[in-house]
Amino acid sequence: MAWGDVDAVKSRVQTHLDGGADHVAGQVLPPPGTTVPLEQWRELSPALRSCT
């Protein structure tokens, strides 16, 4: 599980990949009162695409 800012989430995903994972699933939990976390997806997407 990862939480925090973009750098913290990216670091946690990279830790899984470095540990041998060949894929990592993610789910963004939207802030209360919203239904689709578009802003969070837009922020995370470029950061996570750079994980190898």
Q: What integer pLDDT is reported at residue 52 of this predicted model?
A: 81
Determine the pLDDT at residue 21. 95
**What's the pTM value of the predicted model, to 2 decimals?**
0.81
pLDDT, residue 46, reads 93
Q: Which residues contact 13 (CB under 8 A, 6 or more apart)?
A: 2, 24, 26, 48, 51
Q: CB-based contacts of 8: which residues, under 8 Å, 6+ apart? A: 2
Q: pLDDT per residue over 1-52, tens digit each?
A: 888 999 999 999 999 999 999 999 989 988 788 889 998 899 999 999 888 8
- Calculate the CA 50 to chain-centre distance: 11
The predicted structure's pLDDT at residue 1 = 83
Show the tokens assigned to 7: 């750098």
